[in-house]
Amino acid sequence: MFPMSLDFTHRTVLVTGAGSGIGRAIAAGFLDAGANVIASDINMEQLNELRSRHGCASGRPLHILRTDVREREQVLALFESNPFGRLDAVVHAAGITASLLLTETDDETYRKLIETNVNGTFHVLQEAVSVMRDNAEGGTIVVIGSINAMWPLANQAVYTATKAAIDSLAKSLAVEVAPLQIRVNVVAPGAIDTPMNHRLTGERKAALAARIPLRRIGIPEDLVGITQFLSSPLSSYITGSTFVVDGGFIVGR
């Protein structure tokens, strides 16, 4: 039987979007697995909460830095701030959503979604490769996508487009950097109970859970295992793939 978490002792993992939701669960999971963790988010208050709950109290190696992934200079500063020396894995979980019909989406919302989800991913991927290409054994990159990239929703047209874009970015990059032994994969969650999905309450939440074969909404911790697997030597022959974590929602439709 496999342990609940792998051993990442002496390995360094950078997690974006680590202030809440999926990103926080992943950062905490890597800390539990013994990793040195670099955690970034646009919300410094949430990063301080992460450090208070999972870093300082336990003496675990956690470095936090406020980062707006839309800004190239801030992403560069994030990677340069690494106090642990080497960098073994990157998990890019930073992103935003919006539930609007395409015809009702204003230019500002459109730009913010594109700049955060697509441009932000572009910045993080470029800087990750720039650092990891110097590692003799390469490294791993996991991008948190969405099942919306393959199962579009009518009221999330732009969000869906951004998730499809980053799925393609990651897969193209996987081919480019495979000779460097850098592996790039995507994890595509379905309905997950996070602050970003605040609309999932009451009857609406129950109705959605009833449509999922496993009969429940996912929790952020459901993404920890697959992310650690893809960041470990156990997945050494896996790259350029998308892993759906949705409780069977797509296949059960």
pLDDT value of position 249: 82
Domains annotated for the chain, with CATH where assigned, are 12-242 (3.40.50.720)
Label residue 4 by pLDDT band (50, 70, 90).
Answer: low
pLDDT in tens, 75-122: 999 999 999 999 999 999 999 998 899 999 999 999 999 999 999 999
pLDDT value of position 2: 43
∠ CA 137-182-165, rounded to 5°: 165
The residue among 213 and 184 whose pLDDT is bigger is 184
Which single residue is written with the structure tokens 């951004």?
162
User: With the C-alpha atoms ordered 4, 5, 7, 10, is the resulting torsion angle positive or negative?
Assistant: negative
% of the chain surpassing 70 pLDDT = 93
Contacts of the segment 235-239: beta carbons below 8 A, 24+ positions apart: 235/140, 235/183, 235/185, 236/183, 238/183, 238/185, 239/174, 239/178, 239/183, 239/184, 239/185
**Catalytically active residues, by annotation:** 159
Cα distance between residue 76 and residue 184, in whole Å = 19
Residue 149 structure tokens: 């990239």
pLDDT in tens, 24-40: 999 999 999 999 999 99
Label residue 141 by pLDDT band (50, 70, 90).
Answer: very high
pLDDT in tens, 222-248: 999 999 999 999 999 999 999 999 888
pLDDT at residue 58 is higher than 80:
no
Residue 65's Cβ-side half-sphere holds a number of Cα atoms within 13 Å equal to 19
Give residue 200's region: left, alpha or beta (phi > 0; psi -120 to 50). Answer: beta
Q: DSSP character for 51?
A: I
| Beta strands across the sheet bearing 89-92 | 62-66, 36-41, 12-16, 89-92, 139-144, 182-189, 242-245
The pTM of the full predicted model, rounded to 2 decimals, is: 0.93
**Mean pLDDT score of the chain:** 92
Residue 20 Cα distances to 27, 141, 156, angstroms: 10, 20, 22
Region 183-212: mean pLDDT is 81
Label residue 201 by pLDDT band (50, 70, 90).
Answer: low
Terminal C-alpha separation, the chain: 31
Label residue 153 by pLDDT band (50, 70, 90).
Answer: confident
pLDDT value of position 231: 98
